[in-house]
Structure 1
């Protein structure tokens, strides 16, 4: 048998998913870029709240869609170490060094992820608990119960991103269930949606913008943005009433609605953004190092919070995303983003544990498949 016959044919790429990843990761960069403007600018706060209402839930849904609920084998467990644990340790160490050079302080604490690294740990938690959730009836319902319920527990905090991981768990489980139910294929969602669906999606998004603009003073006074982090307990958010869980439930529903609308508008064909959407983890883990010195310099915010600054930062966010997803940056940073420490693993005789052959496709923690 020829080697080409033994090698499994690569799965056909669906441009929609790469385009959706690019949109989501660009929103992540944009949200972090404009954060310092929100204190002085209502325009920036509107954009910030618009993004944070759904961008990480949408990312979690995509990750869940490409996740498998079966008991992990040797190869899958190795991938948890190489794709999540090692990059987390590497990036957390680098962050400690950067903060020492900039701020003069050393605070190495791997249990408290720095800035954006929380999502990497959350993906690891999702991978570990999905096989157990899949054994239960109504796993999506249980995920929602866990998310709403954890807000009442002030002793569950950001240690190892546990509170935030449980908070956004419903979106990850929803993505997995959409795959299991076959709704994406049944509704032919990856094909171009009907014009009426697109018009309706635009209308919903515009209504959300209008609500943000009309009540921006209310959202600022109630610190709505912190609710979108799915991190603090309700008591920590200043709302320890019994109905606080209903607020989170409404925000979960809002995030699903907005995510669906954005997905409906994402291009289905291959576009200029498709190739960049295959490198979302590179952008996610590296963009904070680009934004951190800018934010710490004091250039952003204060007097520099005008609409011009807002538009400029949004455009810069797209440029940063494209640059960090470029082949050159991926080639230079691959050892820290995709480490391959074969020397730390003992030999596994079973075929399942072998590394993919050179040239085969690879799937990152968000489900992106790339060469």
Structure 2
């Protein structure tokens, strides 16, 4: 879902298919379709929310595995930002990870949003699973910055997402526009054109982080267009083998351009002009970054296990891992732990930081944490909605 060098220290991260427990699905899970009955083949239609039968609660381990592995990459990349300093190798690896981890989240999120039709049941899940967590954690991060970060005058606003919360605002907007993308004859070219235009429009402003919403939009639309057989094709042995030289080449290229590459291109939170580049480079970089991200996303998804593993169950708790790990990283910065331990910028320090970040986000995805945080990530708000005629 990595604080980007932007006006409010926002970062790209992740998350898209952030999922609560199997029996309590929310819009944040991006699981508008029922689980697959064939291992590795995603579902195609939507279950009812609560009270669904046992079959509706079955989950495809492939997507839970993908979500867990992606959230680990997100946390590790976030943890590197304060300590990687001038390490060229660290910057190169950071750039490669940033090229695909958010697009992978968003693509899968779009895939599971295909059946969103703005029906009352889905609108309720959108509110309780995306809108409410956005309000809660945007306020929490603002207060944390004000009182723990020593910024007593830091504003609290719901219009300018802070740090990790931008993704929830984006998911809310993308999900609401899903019926439109399913209606258009050529949705992906339209989405790419909108992303390219956004990259050359510095006047868009910070409201709801619309730069990111628009520049990442093509990945969500691509997910909406995806079909189950595409994910089966991605996991073919030939694709896995081809992904090895692909990632090797990406690392070599990233190492070569690391001293000259602006990281802002990966965050997608600013226009080309705001990054100090000519306007036409925004169009060019939008298309190039989309192509590179798509290739690396396919390579990443090809290596995700289809079987049930020890971390499969943790994929259901990625919303907690995503939203909570930012407090640990920001807290370490506010406490001065990074500045007081210069050795963390060395190779050994980066390894230690990576292991700690992976372990921390793993713990934050466990069922006990999900149960404790359910009041914020998936609140029971039946009192706020009118009952449907069938229920009455």
TM-score (norm 1): 0.86
Distance 1:143 1:14 in 2: 29
Is the counterpart of residue 9 in structure 1 residue 55 in structure 2? yes
For structure 1, the 5+ residue unaligned runs are 355-371
- Match in the other structure for 1:328: 368
- Match in the other structure for 1:312: 352
- Match in the other structure for 1:193: 236
- Match in the other structure for 1:172: 220
Deviation at 1:19, TM superposition (A): 0.8
Give the paired residue count.
338
Is the counterpart of residue 111 in structure 1 residue 153 in structure 2? no
Higher relative CO (CA 8 A, sep ≥ 6), structure 1 or 2? 1
> Cα distance 1:200–1:69, how it changes in 2: closer, same or farther (>3 A)?
same
Contact 1:38 1:48 in 2 (8 A): no
Contact 1:43 1:307 in 2 (8 A): no
Q: CA deviation digits over 1:137-168, x for unaligned, max 9?
A: 10111111111111111111331121101111
Contact 2:139 2:157 in 1 (8 A): no
Q: Please identify runs of 4+ aligned residues in structure 1 that moved more than 6 A.
A: none
> Cα distance 1:9–1:69, how it changes in 2: closer, same or farther (>3 A)?
closer
1:204 to 227, 235, 246: 246
Query: What SS is found at the alignment partner of 1:152?
Result: coil
Contact 2:317 2:367 in 1 (8 A): no
Contact 2:200 2:279 in 1 (8 A): no
Matches within 5 A, 1:269-288: 269-288=307-326
Distance 1:135 1:70 in 2: 12
Query: What SS is found at the alignment partner of 1:48?
Result: helix
Deviation at 1:275, TM superposition (A): 0.9
Between 44-53 and 228-237, the greater mean CA deviation after superposition: 44-53
> Cα distance 1:76–1:257, how it changes in 2: closer, same or farther (>3 A)?
same
Is the counterpart of residue 37 in structure 1 residue 75 in structure 2? no
> Cα distance 1:108–1:151, how it changes in 2: closer, same or farther (>3 A)?
same
Contact 2:204 2:210 in 1 (8 A): yes
Distance 1:230 1:6 in 2: 39
> Cα distance 1:6–1:288, how it changes in 2: closer, same or farther (>3 A)?
closer
2:270 to 214, 222, 232: 232
